[in-house]
Amino acid sequence: MANVVPTSTVRKPTLLQGAGPATRQRLVESARYLFWERGFAGTSMADLLAHSKVNSGSFYHFFDSKEALLREVLESYLVALHPMIVEPAYAATSRPIERIFAILEGYRGRILMTDAQYGCPLGRLALEIDPENRPAHKLIAENFRGWIGAVRACLEEAKLPKGTDIDALATYVLAVMEGGVMLSRSYGSVDPFDRTVKALREHFQLLMRKPRRSTRSQSAT
């Protein structure tokens, strides 16, 4: 996410007693955590009710199905993108390219925090959810577009060479993040993520490098 992530730390939500908006929020927070930890299919209704300490009657008061709760989770990622991912990166540095790497550093922190077990919550759902579930995939795509848009804004501020395809480059950054997180989860180590980010930084260094004037040009002057 990425948007796209459940929390800045891996923890269960604070479980408060009560009804109304607080109960609904507990369900969403529990679903965010459990879908990240276990996946959508791996999370049962019983898991959701136990984790949120909500009974089935209260669940169905707010959501008519687990799929409806999934859509709420995906919408919550859209809301969380800027305050949880973009704004911390902007606060960390004023340099546009370094803001991109600050975003990636946030994902690295979550890999370490979870011992590389959970992966990217949005990426996990994108791979798992049935392609026929168009409402969910539409929200997943919207999250990815939001993430790409945040990176694109950084690239627009950077002094990139004329003719650089900013849209393609922003999408490439997302692919690096998602691929690195997925490989780290598969290997159980942050090393694959670090290697992909290192390669991305080298790509930016080459892109931003000013071309040397040829010896012939120098002698002509």
Q: Residue 48: which CATH number? A: 1.10.10.60
Per-residue pLDDT tens digits of the chain, which is 221 residues long: 454 444 444 444 333 344 578 999 999 999 999 999 999 999 999 999 999 999 999 999 999 999 999 999 999 999 999 999 999 999 999 999 999 999 999 999 999 999 999 999 999 999 999 999 999 999 999 999 999 999 999 999 999 999 999 999 999 999 999 999 999 999 999 999 999 999 999 999 999 987 666 555 555 54
Tokens of 162: 């004329």
* Pairwise CA distance, residues 211 & 220, whole Å: 17
Cβ(117)–Cβ(35) below 8 Å: no
pTM of the model: 0.84
Query: Is 202 in contact with 139 (CB distance < 8 Å)?
Result: no
Q: How far apart are CA 41 and CA 15, in angstroms?
A: 23
Nearest to 88 by CA among 99, 98, 77: 99
Same domain for 76 and 23: no
Residue type, position 12, single letter: K
Q: Is 136 among the domain residues?
A: yes
Q: Which domain holds residue 39?
A: 12-64
On whether both 110 and 82 belong to a single domain, the answer is yes
CA-CA-CA-CA dihedral for 166, 167, 169, 171, to nearest 10: 160
**Please, is 94 exposed, middle or buried when counting C-beta atoms within 10 Å of its C-beta (0-12, 13-18, 19+)?**
exposed
Residues 80, 116, single domain; the answer is yes
